[in-house]
Structure 1
C-alpha cells in the first residue's frame, strides 16, 4: 500500500461519514523516520485535513516517573490527548482549545483554538496506543528498515541526536510495537524503505 491508496481509502470513508455529518479520525503510528509526518502533510494538503502531532503530547517533567517510562507506550501524555483532542473530536466539537507541549521550555504552551475539519489525523509514535484505538476510524502503521531509519534520523536530527534515538527512543518504540501489537491492530501498513 502507498500514500495514494491511503488517500483513496480515506476519501471514500470521509465521503460516507460526511453524508451523516460525521468526522473521520485517522491515526498514523510507526517507526521514527518512516515518514509519518510526511504522510500526514500529504493528506492534509490533498483533503484539507486537520493534523495533530504526538510531539505536542510529550510527558511533562513531573510525569516522567520510572513506573510510567517502563510501561510500553507510557512516554507520551495519551490521557491529555484523549481528554483535550480525541473526546472533543468524537463529540463533534466545532472548535475547542488544546495545549501543545514545548520541548524547549519543557512546559505546556497557552491553549490554541482548533477548528477541526471533517477529517482529522493524529500522527506520531504512540498514537495507536491500545487505550486510544477506539477513537479512530482508520489506523496506519509506517515502517522502514533499521539501516534506512538511522540514515534518515542522522540527516534530520544530526549524529548527536541520532545516538539518543538509537539508545533510548527506538528501543522504547520497539517495546511498544511488540507489546501492544500496534502494526497488527492497524488497517494498513506502509513500508517506506527504498533500499
Structure 2
C-alpha cells in the first residue's frame, strides 16, 4: 500500500501479484471490512487489528454476564469535556447517521418540527434507513445542523433538540482518536 500524494486515497495491490490500483479512503474502508469478513482470524489477530485501528489498548474479554465474548477497546474518553464549540454540528457529515429508532422516537413524540428535516429511505414499503437534516421540500442537505443555535454574547453553541437529538450526536466523538481526527476540542486544556 502506498499513500497517494494528493491525499485522497491509497494505491494498493489486491489480490497479491496484481498491478497497483488506486482506491479512495471511503472505498478502502469497505474493502478492508470485506477482507476481514472473508478471513477466519483468531481473537488475538482481531485484537491486534483493533489496537492499530483505534490506536489504543484492546483486549479479549466477556460481557458482565460472562456469556458474550468479544474484543474490548478502550475509548480514551476520560477527561473529555464538551466545549460547546459547535464544530461537530457545523463540519461533520452526519447525514446518514439517523437510526430508524431515532425516526420512530420523533414520530411517537409527534416532533413534526424535526420530522420535516428527515427523509426516510424505503424499500418495499418499509423504512430501511433515514437521512437527516434535508432541507424541507428539497433533496438538499442543510450546510450545518438546523438545530444548532449560537448562544448570544458567548462563543458557544447549543442544540435546540438536545434531549431528543440523534444517536450519532449522543455518541460523538465516541473515542479520543475520533475526536482528534475530527478536530474536536473536548480534550484541550483551554
With the shorter chain as reference, the TM-score category is under 0.3
Select the structure with the greater relative contact order (CA < 8 A; seq sep ≥ 6).
1
Q: Which has the higher helix share?
A: 1
TM-score (norm 1): 0.27
Question: Greater Rg, structure 1 or structure 2?
Answer: 2
